[in-house]
Amino acid sequence: MTNEMIYNPHVSVDCVVFGFDGSKLKVLLIERTINEQNELYNDKKLPGSIILTDEDLDDAASRVLTELTGLKNIYLSQFRSFGNPKRTDNPRDILWLENTTQLKIGRIVTVAYVALIKIDRKIQFKSEISQANWYDLNEVATMNLAFDHAEIIKKGLEYIRHSLDIEPYLLFELLPRKFTLSQLRSLYDTVHQTNSDVRNFQKKVALWAYVVALDEMEEGVPHRAARLYKFKRTPNP
Amino acid sequence: MTNEMIYNPHVSVDCVVFGFDGSKLKVLLIERTINEQNELYNDKKLPGSIILTDEDLDDAASRVLTELTGLKNIYLSQFRSFGNPKRTDNPRDILWLENTTQLKIGRIVTVAYVALIKIDRKIQFKSEISQANWYDLNEVATMNLAFDHAEIIKKGLEYIRHSLDIEPYLLFELLPRKFTLSQLRSLYDTVHQTNSDVRNFQKKVALWAYVVALDEMEEGVPHRAARLYKFKRTPNP
DNA sequence: ACAAAAGTGTTTGGAGTACACCCATGA
DNA sequence: TCATGGGTGTACTCCAAACACTTTTGT
C-alpha cells in the first residue's frame, strides 16, 4: 500500500490559530527544516497538511492541528480556499513536501481554517512531528513563511475581525475563564483596532447578557484590584 | 495528451448565481441528462466543473460559468468549500461525471462561488454545452439536485444575506438600472426576510448616498407612477 | 367613482460618544 | 505619599421604529 492510497495530494488544510496573551495577538506557527543539498534551512509555516482520501475537510483540519501541535478540541472555522497554481511553485516548498509525504506533488489547493484560543491554558505543544510556537503578528509580517502562508494569515485576520463584529461572544475564546474588564477591553481594542473609552466600554459590556460579574477580585496586582468576570453561554447569544 | 493533463479531477468550482425578478429571488441551474442503461434521466445542477491543472480558482469559476451559461463578466465571490467525501458517492453523479469528463473520478472537493445579477438585462443563456434557467428558491427546496448542490445553495444564500447586511450597495447588482423604491424595498425585504415600513424605508434610503433620484417616472402602470432612481457608485461606499 | 399603489412627518426610546474625577492597593 | 490602574454619571446626538392619511393615475 502506497501513501497515495491514504493521502490525497491535491488538497490540503491549513490552520490559522490566533491566541491572545493579554496584550498582543499571536499566531501559532511550526518550525520547518529543509535539507537542501545537505544545507539545513529553517523557517516557519502554518500547521497544515494534505488530507486523507476519505476524510472530510473539517475532520482533516482538526486532525492535522492535533498531530502537529498537540492541541485538541479546538473549534476551527473554514474561512477560505487558496488555489493559485503558483502557490506551490517554490522549489524549496516542493522539496519539503515530497520529502515529508513521500509523494509526487503537483499543484495543491488548500482549505484554510481559523481558531481562537486562550494562551492562558497551560498549552503543551506536544508533538513528535513538529515544534509549535506563538509569534507576534507584527513579527510575522516580516518573517519568511512557507508557501502563501503570509497571505493566508492576513485573510484569516480579516475574517476574525469580521466575525467578532457579528458575534462578539467569540472574544471569550481568547480570554482566561475569569477575566477583568481591562483585559476584555484591551482584547476588544486589539482586534477592532480601536481605543475605547473606559466608561462607555463598561456600559456596553453591561448590556451583554453573556458577561457576568463574579464576587471575586484580582489578586497580587500592584494597584487597586479589579473585579473578575466570567463568560456565560446564553440560549441565544 | 490525455484529459488528465488538462483537467485536475480532484477539485471543482460551483457557481451559485442569484437573480431577482422584481418579486422573488431565483437561482440559476443547468439541465443535466444522464444516460443510465439507456434510460434518460433528467435533473438540475449548479453551473460548475472541475478545474484546469494550471488555473486559479477564481478564473476557473468565471470560465465555467461562461462556458455553461454564456454569462460574461460576472462578479463572483468565493464563499466556501465543500469536501465531504460522501458528496461524490451517488453512482448517478459519478456516472455523469465520468461520461462528461472521460476521466476516472474519485473524490472531489468543490470551491463554491456566489454572484448576484439583474434578471432584467436581456440574458441570453447561450451555451452549446448546456441549458440554463432561473428557478424559484422555494421550488428549488423541493427539487432533486445533483451532488450536494442543495446544501451549497443554502449556504450561498446565508452568505449573501450576510454580505448584504455589511455592504448594502450589493443589492443594486440585482436591480435594473432604473428602479422604483418599491422594487428596492421588495428586494431588501426578500433578502432580509423583513417587512419594512414604507416611510422608514424611504428615510433610510435617503441617507444612502449611492441611491440618486431621477427626473423620470415609471410609465404604463395602472396606478400612480413612481419616481425612478438609479445607483451611483461612490468613492467609498 | 373606485381600485391600486405612491408619497409624506412626527414622536419616542435605545445606543453610541464625549468628557473628568475619586478610589483602592502595593511599593 | 505616590504611582498605578479601577471604577463611576451626565448630556448630547443619531438612528430605528411605530404610526395614518392624502395623492395620482388608469380603468
Per-residue pLDDT tens digits for B103-139: 999 999 999 999 999 886 556 677 777 789 999 988 9
Q: Which of B82, B109, B114, B158 to mutate to test the interface with A (most CBs of A within 10 A)?
A: B109
Nucleotide nearest to A181 (CA to C1'): D6
- B25 — contact with chain A (CB < 8 Å)? no
Q: Which of B10, B55, B78 sits opposite A85 (nearest CB)?
A: B55
Whether the Cβ atoms of residue A145 and residue A43 lie closer than 8 Å to each other: yes
As annotated, the residues of chain B forming the CATH 1.10.10.10 domain(s) are: 176-231
Helices within A7-128 (DSSP H only): 57-69, 91-101
- pTM for the structure as a whole: 0.89
Q: How far does chain A reach from its first CA to its final CA, in angstroms? A: 49
Length B7 CA → D21 C1' (Å): 65
Q: Reduced to 3 DSSP states, what percent helix, strand and coil does chain B have, rounded to the nearest 5?
A: 35, 30, 35
Neighbours of B109 (CB within 10 A): 23
B237/A contact by beta carbon, under 8 A: no
Residue A185 to residue A163: CA distance in whole angstroms: 17
What sign does the dihedral A35-A37-A40-A46 (CA atoms) show? Answer: negative
Interchain contact B39–A (C-beta under 8 A): no
Closest approach of B56 to chain A, Cα-based (Å): 5
Q: Comparing C-alpha atoms, which of A204, A42, A203 is closest to residue A133?
A: A42
pLDDT of B173 > 70? The answer is yes
Q: Would you say residue B36 has pLDDT above 70?
A: yes
Proximity of residue A60 CB to strand D below 7 A = no
Three cell numbers written together for A201: 466600554
**Residues in B touching A107 (Cβ below 8 Å):** 8, 53-54
Q: Are A85 and B109 in contact (CB < 8 Å)? A: no
**Of the candidates B10, B60, B78, which has its C-beta nearest A10's C-beta?**
B10
Cell numbers standing for residue A222: 500592584
Mean pLDDT of A8-17: 97
Asked if pLDDT for residue B100 goes beyond 80, the answer is yes
Q: Provide, rounded to the nearest whole percent, the portion of chain A with pLDDT above 70.
A: 94
Contacts of range B158-165, beta carbons closer than 8 Å, 24 or more positions apart: B159/B77, B159/B79, B159/B80, B159/B114, B160/B18, B160/B114, B160/B116, B160/B191, B161/B191, B161/B192, B161/B193, B162/A166, B163/B77, B164/B191, B164/B192, B165/B192
- Give the minimum alpha-carbon distance from A212 to chain B in angstroms, rounded to a whole number: 29
A223 CB-to-strand D distance under 7 Å? yes
Tell me where in chain B the CATH 3.90.79.10 domain(s) lie: 3-166
Q: CA B229 → CA B61, B180, B205, B233, distances in Å? A: 32, 6, 11, 13
Residue with smallest Cα–C1' gap to C24: A224
Residue A202 Cβ under 7 A from any strand D atom: yes
Give the model's pLDDT for residue B197.
96
* Architecture of the domain defined by B3-166: Alpha-Beta Complex (3.90)
Between CA A210 and CA A232 the distance in angstroms is 5
pLDDT in tens, A101-132: 999 989 999 999 999 988 865 566 777 777 89
- Residues in A 146-205 whose C-beta is less than 7 A from nucleic strand C are 197-200, 203-204
pLDDT at B37: 83
Q: What pLDDT is attached to residue A22?
A: 74
Helix intervals (H) in chain B: 3-6, 57-69, 91-101, 137-142, 149-166, 181-192, 198-206
Query: Residue B96: pLDDT above 90?
Result: yes
DSSP, collapsed to helix, strand or coil, labels residue B105 as coil
For residue range B208-226, list pLDDT tens digits in order.
989 999 999 998 888 999 9
Work out the angle between the directed axes of helices B198-206 and B181-192 (0-180°, nearest 10). Answer: 100
**B172-199 mean pLDDT:** 92
Question: What three-state secondary structure class fits B5?
Answer: helix
Cβ of residue A219 closer than 8 Å to a chain B Cβ: no
Residue B237 — very low, low, confident or very high, per pLDDT cuts 50/70/90? very low
Tell me, in Å, how far CA of A236 is from C1' of D10? 32
Among A8, A54, A55, select the one facing B10 at the smallest CB separation: A8
Average pLDDT value over all residues in chain A: 90
Q: What is the pLDDT of residues A148-202, one digit of tens each?
A: 999 999 999 989 988 887 788 888 989 988 999 999 999 999 888 899 999 999 9
Nearest Cα to Cα of residue B82 among B115, B104, B113, B106: B113
Cβ distance A85 to B11 less than 8 Å, yes or no, reads no
A198 vs A180: CA distance, rounded Å: 12
Mean pLDDT (chain B) is 90
B51, B56, B109: residue with CB nearest A57: B109
- Domain B176-231 belongs in CATH node 2.40.37.10: no
Chain B residues in contact with A53 (beta carbon < 8 A): 85, 106-107
B23 CB closer than 7 A to any strand C atom: no
Q: Is A206 on the interface with B (CB under 8 A)?
A: no
Chain B's closest residue to A80, CA to CA, is B80
End-to-end CA distance of chain B: 49
Three-state DSSP class for residue B231: strand
* Amino acid at site B18: F
Residue A10 in contact with partner chain B when CB distance is under 8 A: yes
The strand ranges marked E within A104-203 are: 109-118, 132-136, 178-179
Q: In sequence order, what are the beta bridge partners of B116?
A: B18
